[in-house]
Amino acid sequence: MHFKIPTLFIINLLASGVTSHGWIKRLKLNGAAYTVFPEVKTPDWTAPAINITRQIGYDGPVLDILSTNITCNARAVPIADNGVSRTGTITAGSNFEIYWESWPHSGPIVTYMARCEPDCGSFLGSEGKVWFKIDEFGFEDSWATQKLYNQKYWWNVTVPECIPDGEYLIRHEIIALSECKTVGKCQFYPSCTQIKVIGGRDRGPAESELVSFPGAYGKTDKGILWDTNTQDPKDYVVPGPEVWKCPS
Ligand SMILES: *[C@@H]1O[C@H](CO)[C@@H](O)[C@H](O)[C@H]1NC(C)=O
Ligand SMILES: *[C@@H]1O[C@H](CO)[C@@H](O)[C@H](O)[C@H]1NC(C)=O
Ligand SMILES: *[C@@H]1O[C@H](CO)[C@@H](O)[C@H](O)[C@H]1NC(C)=O
Ligand SMILES: [Cu+2]
């Protein structure tokens, strides 16, 4: 036998048959810690959001990428206190730090933002082209999820330094590739957090650079229809638009 089994395949094997998947437990923005789900084995997925991340409804994947479930997950609802959006403040150009519950699958990690109109307490994010991609990691020596594991389940995403101040959703997502060889079976694990950006500039994306959710992903797109057992990870292309960069 000449082939060597990459460690990620081993992680995949361990994961098969596991019923619970993973979710974001904590966030750190401008040094402040936010609890997303309590430190219990099976959080109550139907409970209202405890802080600034919208509830996800359950820990399973979203499969129906043409439905509004792909926007912020199955039971996501805007979070507001007496009509006022609940947000976490973050300075443009600084890191949005995410801590996942242990994660059992292999695949890319992708993050998008959308300006909340008029504010995050009333904005769904599922209508029209409002999203821009701020970060992606597919495969470079290892899958993003292996890197996540190596970083003890912490992941950093930099909020672009040039975007206008105001309220935004951050849509952070892991895509689990193990079933993506079958059309409609690729597994998406998105969730959305309500933030208020300060210290930015007025150089956000143009309307023509925005995409919609649902809409940005198609069932047979590169990186969504993908056979992880036969395709070379080095050829993997993260789905969706290019990462948006501040104009120079
Ligand atoms: C959300 O988390 C922040 C930072 O830890 C805390 O100050 C705030 O009270 C929390 N908000 C709610 C509604 O729990
Ligand atoms: C979203 O996902 C939930 C949970 O799987 C499902 O019950 C619901 O029908 C889905 N909604 C849509 C619009 O497809
Ligand atoms: C994320 O960013 C914070 C603050 O910039 C830094 O302290 C931390 O080490 C970073 N974590 C990772 C996993 O890169
Ligand atoms: Cu899973």
Taking the centre of ligand 3 as the mean of its atom positions, its distance from the CA of residue 133, in whole angstroms, is 20
DSSP 168-229: EEEEEEEEE-TTTTSTT--EEEEEEEEEEEES--S----GGG-B-TTTS--TTSBTTB--TT
**Residue of minimum CA distance from atom 11 in ligand 1:** 51
With H, G, I as helix, E, B as strand and everything else as coil, classify residue 12: helix
How far apart CA 232 and CA 74 sit, in angstroms, is 32
Q: Identify the CATH assignment for 20-231 out of 1.10.10.10, 3.30.70.1380, 3.40.630.10, 2.70.50.70.
A: 2.70.50.70
* Domain extents in the chain: 20-231
Q: Which atom of ligand 2 has the smallest separation from the CA of 57?
A: 4
**Residue of minimum CA distance from atom 12 in ligand 1:** 51
Taking the centre of ligand 1 as the mean of its atom positions, its distance from the CA of residue 60, in whole angstroms, is 26
Report which bound ligand comes closest to the CA of 60.
4
pLDDT at 155: 98
Q: Is 158 in the pocket of ligand 3 (CB under 6 A)?
A: no
Report which bound ligand comes closest to the CA of 189.
4
**Residue of minimum CA distance from atom 1 in ligand 2:** 74
DSSP 51-91: SSBPP-SSSSPB--TTSTHHHH-TT----EETTEEP-EEEE
Taking the centre of ligand 3 as the mean of its atom positions, its distance from the CA of residue 100, in whole angstroms, is 14
Structure tokens at 232: 């070379």
pLDDT at 40: 87
Q: Which of 94, 62, 74 is nearest to 195 (CA)?
A: 94
Q: Going by DSSP bridges, is the β-strand pair 139-140/32-35 parallel, antiparallel, or unpaired? A: unpaired
- How confident is the chain (248 residues) per 10-residue block, as mean pLDDT? 39 46 94 93 91 94 97 96 97 98 94 98 98 98 97 98 98 98 97 98 97 98 97 98 96
